[in-house]
Amino acid sequence: MNCLEERIVKDGVVKEGNVLKVDSFLNHQMDVELFDEMAEEFKKRFEGKNINKILTIEASGIGIASIVALRFKCPVVFAKKSQSINLDGEMLTAEVESFTHKRTNHVIVSKKFLGPEDHVLIIDDFLANGCALQGLIQIVTSAGATVEGIGIAIEKGFQSGGRIIRNLGYQLESLAIIESMDASTGEIVFRE
Ligand code: 5GP
């Protein structure tokens, strides 16, 4: 068991509806020392890739992506979920159905920050049905940039996202893949 899996067992809470709560260390309170160990692992798994930009989605991907960016020594761009008055110029957009909030968001990245010269590592906290990732991939593709890889903290392997994204041919690396989890007992089983 790696350090993320150990932490999930220790502090994760399995909720009804296939939701894992990890807000004490991942996406509300953030354990940045754990993020640093995760970033080291992503650096190893994407060794040799020519990555010059990290892309994530607000809000919960930003913390992990920032620590990963320190390892790759490149900037982080995060897709915004709402049109802000501060956004100007041409935009790249995609529609993403939110797993946790059950609504559709427009996600937006300024064309100023993503273009054909970019080799992108996409980072996010969770992979469930793959909607967020497909939106981010669409944004990278429409910018004319290249997806070099995708790094996920927690993949729920019993949902369809991982299979869909791997079938598209992307290098998808998830640090913890949950095979099954049970809200009544709290039991979590990881993929070997
Ligand atoms: P997907 O688009 O793959 O269906 O869902 C991914 C997004 O939904 C992630 O960005 C994450 O924020 C959220 N998400 C999906 N499943 C979970 C979960 O079990 N727990 C939490 N905390 N967030 C989740």
**Per-residue model confidence as pLDDT tens digits over 86-110:** 667 899 999 998 877 778 889 999 9
If you count them, how many residues does the chain have?
A: 192
List the end-to-end C-alpha distance of the chain, in Å, as a whole number. 9
Per the omega criterion (within 30 degrees of 0), is the bond before 128 cis? no
Index of the ligand 1 atom closest to the CA of residue 96: 2
Q: Is the separation of the CB atoms in 98 and 105 below 8 Å?
A: yes
Residues with CB under 6 A from ligand 1: 19-22, 27, 60, 99-100, 124-132, 161
CB atoms within 10 A of CB 101: 9
Q: Ligand 1 atom closest to Cα of 130?
A: 3
The side-by-side arrangement of strands in the sheet containing 188-190 is: 76-79, 53-57, 119-127, 146-156, 172-181, 188-190
Predicted confidence (pLDDT) per residue in 127-185, tens digit:
999 999 999 999 999 999 999 999 999 999 999 999 999 999 999 999 999 999 999 99
**Residue tagged 């967020």 (tokens):** 132
Q: 39-60 pLDDT, tens per residue?
A: 999 999 999 999 999 999 999 9
Q: What is the average pLDDT score of the chain?
A: 95
* pTM given for the model: 0.96
Q: Which residues pair with 102 in a beta bridge?
A: none
| Atom from ligand 1 closest to the CA of residue 57 | 10
For 70-82, letters b (16+ CB in 10 Å) and e give ebbebebbbbbbe
